[in-house]
Structure 1
Amino acid sequence: MLRAAGIGRGDEVVVPAFGRADVAGAVVAAGALPVFADIDPHSYCLDAEAVAAVTGPRTAAIVAVHRFGRSAPLWQLKGHGKRHGLLVLEERDAVGEPADVAERRRAADHLDQRLRGVGTPERDRDHTYTQYVVRVPGNGRPDRDAFARALRARGVACSVPVQTPLHRTTEHWRDVRLPETERAADDTLALPLVPVAERRGLHRLVSACNALGGLLQPA
């Protein structure tokens, strides 16, 4: 799509560093240069002000990636694109059927009300919860990775959504600071969205998180 739009050598394309490498890889494949902008700490999508800060004379496009069921601020990004003559592209999560979304929302609501010691996702009526991502606070107590290992030892499947932000990888290294991106890579954890009907699984998840989460609270 980038090549079809005439984007190539000499152009820059603004993308998030928090996410998969395929978006930045597509920019490189088109002959352009990926430029990384910071994310909003609640949606994990591109922050519009951060995009504006890295926009320059060679910027040709922005790729807005929707993350974990939250939408990027398209109206802001498209407004910025219109003012500067930039192409704005989207990459969406695979949301699934409406019934699947409704079930994920019920499970997320259950977890929102019961989890302690971790930061639950910011509530949003349009959130589709393709992943249920929490923040594990770091305050000198067990860190996110230790927390994840302890959860798995208790039979709770969990995963780190982004191990290393792209601007810190060998392939896409940039000498820039993206504080929200780096913080999210350090402390986010994706928990399983167990259907509400499976009460035993939900109870195990909540009990394990809350038992461990208590260790993360300030003394």
Structure 2
Amino acid sequence: MNTARFLKSAGVGAGDEVIMSAYGDTEAAQSVVTVGAQPVFVDIDPSSYCIDPEAIAAALTSRTAGVVVASAFGCPPDLARIGELARAHGLLVVGAGEAEAGPDEVTQRRSHAAFLTGRLTGVRTPEPHEGHTYQRYVVRVPGNGRPDRDAFARALRGRGVACEVPVRAPVHRQPAFRSSLRLPETERAVDETLALPVQGSLRRRELQRMVSSCNALGGLLPTCLAGR
């Protein structure tokens, strides 16, 4: 979806506000600015990483024209509650979609995710959500936030596990949108999360190596890895 085009066609423009998550949605925020409206950043649900419906409700003003909703790493947002808010306040709901995978790939990812969730102890595994396609398998690293997460990631890569930090900075801390707004769950997620590979092509021995590496390293945090 071309978010800017959709917003413009719906009549969203100067003087309007559009509510959105600050967790990794830079392109959507830029689209709001492009049509002359103001992005209003709110916090996420820490279990799904999607926009928090109650944060939407708290941010509503007379200028609110719409809300941007999107799945996060394959986990769907609470569309039922967001839909209630949209109907009650006459809001435009804009979907910022993720790339879709075929059913076989999704089935394999879910199988891999179940394997990891059942065996990982060195990290905090994703909470189960209906409809999750595990586009990315995002865990939280225990310890002292970003320093320990980054050290953990370096150590995992050293053991041959291709992990990634999914969101490097929240949108409201990036130069184009910088503000003093405090979004604790978003900022905590940015500091703690790490995406482990879960693509369907992975073999069981690769998953097992990932489990062994994470579990061994998790026992070292925070005392040893924090100083690396």
Please confirm whether the aligned pair reaches a TM-score higher than 0.5, indicating the same fold. Answer: yes
Tell whether the 8 Å contact from 2:162 to 2:196 is kept in structure 1 after alignment: yes
2:85 to 80, 85, 89: 80
Equivalences for residues 67-216 of structure 1 within 5 A: 67-139=72-144, 143-193=148-198, 195=200, 198-216=203-221
Aligned length: 218
Q: Give TM-score, length-normalised by structure 1.
A: 0.94
Q: Which residue of structure 2 aligns with residue 60 of structure 1? A: 65
CA-based RMSD of the aligned residues comes to 1.8
Unaligned runs of 5+ residues in structure 1 are: none
AA partner of residue 135 (structure 2): T
AA partner of residue 93 (structure 2): V
AA partner of residue 41 (structure 1): P
Tell whether the 8 Å contact from 1:161 to 1:188 is kept in structure 2 after alignment: yes
Secondary structure in structure 1 of the residue aligned to 2:82: helix
For 2:146 and 2:219, the matched residues in 1 are separated by 10
Secondary structure in structure 1 of the residue aligned to 2:220: helix
Tell whether the 8 Å contact from 1:141 to 1:215 is kept in structure 2 after alignment: no
For 1:17 and 1:49, the matched residues in 2 are separated by 15
Tell whether the 8 Å contact from 1:107 to 1:196 is kept in structure 2 after alignment: no
Q: Cα deviation per residue 1:162-190 (whole Å; 9 max; x = unaligned)? A: 00001111111122110000000000000
Q: Give TM-score, length-normalised by structure 2.
A: 0.91
Q: Percentage identity across aligned positions?
A: 55
Secondary structure in structure 2 of the residue aligned to 1:171: helix
Tell whether the 8 Å contact from 1:60 to 1:86 is kept in structure 2 after alignment: yes
Secondary structure in structure 2 of the residue aligned to 1:133: strand
Runs (4 or more) in structure 1 with deviation over 4 Å come to: 139-142, 194-197
Secondary structure in structure 2 of the residue aligned to 1:36: strand
For 2:135 and 2:199, the matched residues in 1 are separated by 12
1:46 to 51, 61, 64: 51
